[in-house]
A and B are shown apart, each in its own frame.
Chain A
Amino acid sequence: MALLSPPLPTLQMLTYLVRRLLLVLVVVWGTATLAFFLLFLSGDPVNLLLPLDATPEVREQFRKANGFDRPVWQQYLSYMGRALQGDLGISLRNQTPALGLVLERMPASMVLAGAALLFAVIFGVLAGVIAAVRKGTTLEFVVLFFALLGQSLPVFWLALMLILVFGLELRLLPISGYGVGPIPGLPALANLVLPAIAVGTFSMAAITRLTRGGVLRELRSDHVRTARAKGLSERVIIYKHALRNAAIPVVTVIGLQLGNLLSGAVITETIFAWPGVGRLVLTAVTQQDFPVVQAAVIVFAVLLAVINLVVDLLYGVLDPRVRYA
């Protein structure tokens, strides 16, 4: 019975995948090139590397030693050549491979983004469903009020308030740092709580509003009316029929948010002294540490392109009507 067999990856789908992967390469190359020239335009890194009263000879020696004295197109070609072999240069400040510095911080950023996303999804979906089911009640109003607040609070303010209340007044949670967790390389749970809330609040609010809208729409739809007519319990209707269909836009947003959470945690990482990539990049930009900035841009370009691809593929799982061509 061919009609009932599970959907096998078809030739069409494979072509789609290959095309998308090629696109990822183009995106990464384009981003790397753009970043290279923007950084080049931002000035001479030797200016910040040497004392302000360094003699012109010493500056010239430094430019030579770092290859900054060559024409920009030569620097670009040699950079790209080395990048293809996985060598993204040496950090000017830290004197260690730039890619290593970025990858070293990746776990901290991922743990934070993961925790924030978990927080956002659990509370966002829950609040969204509650607001939809209790439409017209005070509870809905309260949920929507906090959702609006969550989307409008500046993250630095929220972070400082969290520190003030939970770190300084109640002394419940550590104020800053990564802590020493039970598993090497992972943070202490207590240290993770405040940064994750600070980073995740905006996404949580977005997910709440989106889930509420989706569930409300589904609850009015024909298939839900049919399900009700069949006498299914309200719980089954909401979680099996309404929520699943409301999930597609939510998954899109989660995918997009994941990118934001990973790359946009600069402020939170700085305030909580979290050893993530965002903080590394911020420091590297102010110090004009080009190789580090460039490496981070490339890593993020790869990551975001892959996340987008995964999200697109997930649609197919969630909605069998979506096919790839």
Chain B
Amino acid sequence: MKRSWIGFLASLALVGMAWAQRPDTIVIAQGVDVTVLDPNNQLETPTANVLANIFDTLYMRMPDGTARPWLATAVRAVNPTTWEMTIRQGVKFHNGEDLTAETVKWNFDRVIDPQRPLRISNSWANLASVQVVNPTTLRFITKNPFPVFVTRLTGFYILPQKYVTEGGNRYLQEPVGTGPYKFVRWVRDQQFELEANPNYWAGAPKIRRVIFRPIPEASSRVAELVSGGVDIITNLVPEPVNAVRASGAAEVRSVPSIRNIFIMLNTSGKADSPLANPKVRLALNYAVDKRTIVKNVLGGLGQPTGCSLNSYIFGYDARSCQAYEYNPARAKQLLAEAGYPNGFTMTLGSPNGRYLNDRQVAEAVVGQLAQVGVRAELRVQEWSTYVGQILERRIPTDAVLLGWGNNEFDADNSLYSLFYGGTVRGGPRQVAFSYIRSVPLDNALLQAQRTTDPEQRKKLYLDALRVLRAESPWIFLHQQEDIYGVAKRVDWKPRPDERLFVAEMAFK
């Protein structure tokens, strides 16, 4: 009797071992699964991370943040509203279909069709039409000058026209791209398998097979990594970092991310309300000890910031973006000058679990504000309600903790999107993440969006950053770090844009 039990347990163990490392297969665990297999109808990092291995973009984001020609070989501005693009020749999709200028035009027409909006259509609202000049050349006509044209190409995937238009819904079940990996199978919420494309135009990738597994619980991901069940885990939180390091099986690798965390202040109150006073807002920035928050709440993985950009982004300026020093004495003095020697009371909203330790960051801020006499009451909310209130401008608190990831690497996405429109008739056209009202700011941001000259744009963004520095519409907190757990056998450096390009990985 006893012996059969031991046999039973041993056989279970053997089945369990089937999951352990295989020499030609890399297993990557993300928190959630892929949602759709149409790369141009999704906006989720975990989905994009998988599909970007199957599909190519026209331009490719390099680890240093620059954009490099990829399926396109060159792009040039003919005039401020016309771009000309040449397409790489001899590229074939996994099913043998050829990549042509016609294919590319069809892909853009599909995304800008107002009858059937896709989730990325918003990025291409400025595109009026696309014309095929010859089999390898296209012309893009835009409604307004479109300086972020090239940067947006890094997020635009090319699908095979015939396969999509003639194969019914098959492209949503068996995706076919031009990328370094081919689709093998997908079992929802279990695993997504890829195999190397030996005929990839940029050279066959080194790792033969890839399995993406969704493991929602962070501690289960860590357990899988440490026990050798998976090779890479995303969204590692600071708490188990030491356990991963101590395991000997895996390492912690991190990279400063494209996401900045901040607190948006409601500056639109009456003139005598504290947050309407720039001095008070400056005081709050001096009152928060960003360095200590990063050290204690984020395990040291982060950088204090002083603007909404970070160093990867076009338009960044080191001086205007320097973090405010922690100086409670100065903060108290500014508060006294503003007429609040005994501080004041305010409310602060925070999500829970949307950003790295967000609630804990908000709690730390509340504690530090109390040191200078500002009594902030924290209200934590579930994300979907929270973000709904912000988008609809029905924010119930005086301040909200938020994050912004600029995946375009251009200041337009961090400045125009977040601050433009306070003085425009009808208020902000899109949901700006601030209540700032400044004519010079609005002018600079609009002009920067309407010119294609990089030098001119840099100057305009510098003007904008100076206005923001003087007005302090936010409490600037920190730039997050993306933390990964990586098995020691994997040769790979994390990228700032969160992508997991397996073609960049190898086994040691």
Write the residues of chain A forming the contact surface with B, with a CB cutoff of 8 angstroms.
42-44, 47-58, 61-62, 65, 93-96, 101, 104-105, 160, 163-164, 167-168, 171-180, 188-191, 193, 270-273, 275, 279-280, 282-283, 286-288
Contact = CB atoms under 8 A, between A and B. Distances in A.
Contacts of A174: 15-16, 19, 229
9 contacts: A48-B384, A53-B122, A58-B122, A65-B116, A175-B227, A177-B19, A179-B18, A189-B15, A283-B32
B220 A51 contact: no
A178 B187 CA distance: 10
Contacts of B16: 171-174, 190-191
Nearest to B383: A286
Contact of A54 (B13, B229, B430): B430
Contacts of A56: 429-430
B122 A105 contact: no
B384 A42 contact: yes
Contacts of B114: 61
Contacts of B38: 95
> Of A57, A163, A176, A287, which is in contact with the most chain B CB atoms at under 10 Å from its CB?
A176
B125 interface: yes
A259 B335 CA distance: 58
Contacts of A176: 215, 217, 220, 223-224, 229
B15 A188 contact: yes
A275 B430 contact: no
Contact of A275 (B116, B187, B226): B187
B190 A51 contact: no
B216 interface: yes
B223 A168 contact: yes
Contacts of B32: 283
A9 B238 CA distance: 64
B462 to A, nearest CB: 22
A286 B384 contact: yes
Interface in B117-151: 117, 119, 121-123, 125
A271 B218 CA distance: 8
Interface of B: 9, 12-13, 15-16, 18-19, 32, 35-36, 38, 41, 43, 114, 116-117, 119, 121-123, 125, 172, 187-191, 213-217, 219-220, 223-224, 226-227, 229, 383-385, 387-388, 391-392, 404, 413, 417-418, 429-431, 433
B430 A53 contact: yes
Given A53-B431, A171-B13, A279 B36 contact: no
B11 to A, nearest CB: 8
A187 to B, nearest CB: 9
A95 B227 contact: no
Contacts of B15: 174, 179, 188-191
Given A47-B391, A168-B226, A61 B117 contact: yes
A104 B431 CA distance: 38
A177 B213 contact: yes
Contacts of A48: 384, 387-388
Nearest to B33: A283
A168 B431 CA distance: 47
Given A177-B19, A177-B215, A271-B216, 8 more contacts: A47-B387, A48-B388, A93-B35, A168-B227, A175-B223, A180-B18, A188-B18, A275-B189
B229 A175 contact: yes
A58 B114 CA distance: 9
A184 B404 CA distance: 43
A126 to B, nearest CB: 16
A87 to B, nearest CB: 16
B227 A167 contact: yes
Given A168-B227, A180-B18, A189-B12, A58 B429 contact: no
B388 A163 contact: no
Contact of A53 (B116, B216, B384, B417): B417
A130 to B, nearest CB: 18
B201 to A, nearest CB: 29
Nearest to A185: B187
A62 B122 CA distance: 10
B388 A275 contact: no
A172 to B, nearest CB: 5
Given A172-B12, A270-B217, A279 B431 contact: no
B190 A177 contact: yes
A55 B430 CA distance: 5
A141 B38 CA distance: 59
Contact of A178 (B18, B125, B190, B388): B190
A291 to B, nearest CB: 13
Given A58-B122, A172-B16, A190-B12, A271 B217 contact: yes
Given A50-B119, A61-B114, A172-B13, A273 B387 contact: no
Contacts of B18: 179-180, 188
Given A52-B391, A176-B224, A95 B36 contact: yes
Closest 7 CB pairs of A and B: A275-B189, A53-B417, A190-B15, A43-B388, A273-B215, A190-B12, A54-B122
Nearest to B353: A286
A146 B219 CA distance: 26
Given A50-B119, A286-B383, A288-B384, A193 B229 contact: no
B190 A275 contact: yes
Contacts of B388: 43-44, 47-48
A272 B387 CA distance: 29
Contacts of A57: 125
Contacts of B385: 42-43
Contacts of B191: 177
Nearest to B227: A168
B34 to A, nearest CB: 9
B122 A50 contact: yes
B398 to A, nearest CB: 20
Contacts of B125: 55, 57-58
B227 A171 contact: yes
Contacts of A167: 223, 227
A50 B118 CA distance: 9
A273 B187 CA distance: 13
A282 B31 CA distance: 13
A218 B35 CA distance: 55
A42 B384 CA distance: 8
A262 B117 CA distance: 37
Contacts of A193: 12
Contacts of B223: 163-164, 167-168, 175-176
B142 to A, nearest CB: 15
A101 to B, nearest CB: 8
Contacts of B190: 177-178, 275
A53 B13 contact: no
Contacts of A168: 223, 226-227
A180 B18 CA distance: 9
Contacts of B430: 53-56
A175 B217 CA distance: 11
Nearest to B121: A58
